[in-house]
Amino acid sequence: MLKNFSLAAVAALVVVACAQSPTGRNQIMLFDDKQLSTMGAQTFETMKAETPISKDARINDYVQCIASALLRVTPQEYLTNPWEVVVFDSEQVNAFALPGGKIGVYTGLLKVAENQEQLAAVVGHEIAHVMAGHSNERLSTNQFLQSALALGDAGTKAYGVKYQQEIMAMLGVGAQLGITLPFSRTHESEADIVGLDLMAKAGFEPRQAVNLWQNMAAASSNNTPQFLSSHPIPENRIAELRARMPEAMATFNERKKSGRLPACRK
């Protein structure tokens, strides 16, 4: 009886918390956006305290110029609070965006992103993660999986199932490979799509996104098979971008007609 009630409660929670991403994909969102924004801001403050911040005015202006151009075409609903952009002095080839309007760019990325368009592809990708609520969705998915595995553990124990511990370990691995990692790959692919649209609307030549990810692949020594990876392999990522390119180029060409294209310089 308790088991049936718990399953019903979890199912009801999932139904109530359904949402849609910017691409129209159904999502489960169990957490409050304000709470996640607070968590994002706290995490960002910790990072600023622990990681050196670049004092190079030229680099800061360059990154801010690109981020500002992208944010000007970001839907208004994601601009409730001013976004904060920080350049971290680190060799990491990375960037990130957090709920609450926080963007971090590592100086190491500037060695791989060769021009404003390529850096815009990365920053647009990270803004897209926030727009799509991927942090909320990932936390919600993990919460749901933990609840489901706890119920399975209780059920196998209650019925005296043989090899209970081994079965639960296999279920845990199955959840990781079958749900958590594919969800993460879905998030990355979705952020690529939404980010490509953002950069095109902002006036950054979208074909440079393909060049960026080619540079990323060349700089990476990661040969993890896709089914064991949280990110799509570069070949698949590039193929998806190319498939979306005609639409992105049409958007870019419309923007180009206005004659107002970004001119961010290092």
Q: Summarize pLDDT for 151-184 with one digit per residue, the tens.
A: 544 554 555 544 445 444 444 444 444 434 455 7
Choice among 45, 84, 114, 126 that is catalytic = 126
Q: Using CB atoms within 10 Å of the CB of residue 228, give its burial: 0 to 12 exposed, 13 to 18 middle, 19+ buried.
A: exposed
How high is the pLDDT of residue 158? 52
Does the annotation mark 126 as catalytic? yes
- How long, in residues, is the chain? 266
105-114 pLDDT, tens digit each: 999 999 999 9
What is the per-residue pLDDT for 223?
Answer: 54
Query: What's the CA gap between 235 and 46, in Å, rounded?
Result: 35
pTM: 0.75
What was the pLDDT predicted at 221?
Answer: 61
How far, in Å, CA of 125 to CA of 121, rounded? Answer: 6
Average pLDDT over residues 235-256: 94
pLDDT tens digits for range 132-148: 887 777 777 666 556 55
What's the average model confidence in pLDDT over 190-204?
95
Question: Do 37 and 80 contact (CB within 8 A), yes or no?
Answer: no
Residue 53 phi, psi (nearest 5): -105, 135
Q: Are 115 and 132 in contact (CB under 8 A)?
A: no
Q: Which residues of 62-82 are buried (b: 16+ CB within 10 A; e: fewer)?
A: bbbbbbebbbebbeeeeeeee
